[in-house]
Structure 1
Amino acid sequence: MKKILFTLLVVSVLSVISDKAFAQFEKGDKLLNAGINLGGTYGGGGIGLGASFEGGVHDFISVGGQFDFMHWGYGGGIYNYGWSYNFINIAARGSYHYGKHFLKIDNLDLYAGPALGYRIASSSYDGVGYDAYGSGVFFGAFAGARYYFKPNLGVFAEVGYNAAALKAGIAFKF
């Protein structure tokens, strides 16, 4: 059984990476990232989910939006107390795709840019809500990479001061 599963895994991986991918960013591309957020930028760790969508308006520039949810907290323990922080970020974002200036790797897209949006924050300690961070306008900056296994399917990772210190997941190109 293990040999059969291993063979299926190898065949699946080879079929995914066997097609030639053309992923250098171009005007008109529509990009969707969906994945997990790790490490909150608002004073703590945390984990969350996020997605971003951008459309190419120039050979090197894309604009769009993002939605992210982050949570971190602690509950229970011997003294039965806990705290919780939740953040929802809705933002506009833009990216400059600089990879094709100096890379000849077709299936790698390097990009960086700013995000500007609104953060909805909520927090509680022992079940009582309080305003630890406050909701309001936020500014973020990020740098990322997309690596495509197929012409329209790949993985992405972003670092920076945005909704999370690290974002990673699956990337789609339409």
Structure 2
Amino acid sequence: MKKCSITLILICLMPILAFAQEFEKGDKVISLGIGLGSSIGSFNTSSQIPALSAQYEQGVWETGGPGVISLGGYIGYKAFTYDYSSSSYSYEQKWDYILLGVRSAYHWNGHNVDNLDLYGGLMLGYYLLNYSYSDSNGSSTGGDNYSNTAGLSIYLGSRYYFSQNLAAFAEAGYGVAYLNIGVALKL
């Protein structure tokens, strides 16, 4: 919890500490992130993998105001396992989630902060769920896809560029995690 609080404070201070890396039409960015907090697997689990994400976006349209609209794609992954064991019986359940999404964001260029890209957007995503179960009595199911669902989510984010092409990013919203942090590379 302490690490999460420190991360959030640093994200809030980024505009103050930053030195304008405006997102422009034609810009292409690839980002890799790790997620903190998630509604996926939020109940008691024996083990889980942190949410991982990769995204791509490209500046497509200039707006009438200070900004650019981008389009891109997203893939996220989250997995968790629940194990139960007693003296006479045991079982294991596994969930693997993959989120595939199409995103669009508005990058606001109306600030006077160098090296900072502020944005917010929407994502249309499709959650793929793979579930498996096995127990000590020999019962098992495997590779069952169920509860696959589509959804719309909203997110806010920022990137701080340490060089012309390399940035740290943070996004808050709903996807495979509530908060994603990571690195971004402008191509």
**Quick check: TM above 0.5?**
yes
Tell me which of 56, 61, 72 is aligned to 2:59.
56
- Aligned runs of 1:107-146 on 2, under 5 Å? 107-126=115-134, 128=141, 134-146=147-159
Percent identity of the aligned residues? 38
Change (3 A) 1:44 1:131: farther
Over the aligned positions, Cα root-mean-square deviation in angstroms equals: 2.6
Deviation for aligned residue 1:70: 0.9
| Corresponding position: 1:84 with 2:78 | no
CA distance in structure 1 between the aligned counterparts of 2:145 and 2:30, rounded to whole angstroms: 32
Deviation for aligned residue 1:129: 5.1
Per the alignment, in what secondary structure is the counterpart of residue 164 of structure 1? coil
Q: Is the 8 A contact 2:156 2:172 kept in 1?
A: yes
1:93 maps to what in 2?
103
2:76 maps to what in 1?
68
Q: Is the 8 A contact 1:44 1:72 kept in 2?
A: no
Change (3 A) 1:128 1:25: same
Deviation for aligned residue 1:132: 9.5
When the two structures are aligned, how many residues end up with a matched partner? Answer: 153
Tell me which of 160, 165, 170 is aligned to 1:152.
165
Q: Is the 8 A contact 1:37 1:70 kept in 2?
A: no
Deviation for aligned residue 1:37: 2.3
Q: Is the 8 A contact 2:20 2:112 kept in 1?
A: no
How does the TM-score come out when normalised to structure 2?
0.71
Change (3 A) 1:166 1:132: farther
How does the TM-score come out when normalised to structure 1?
0.76
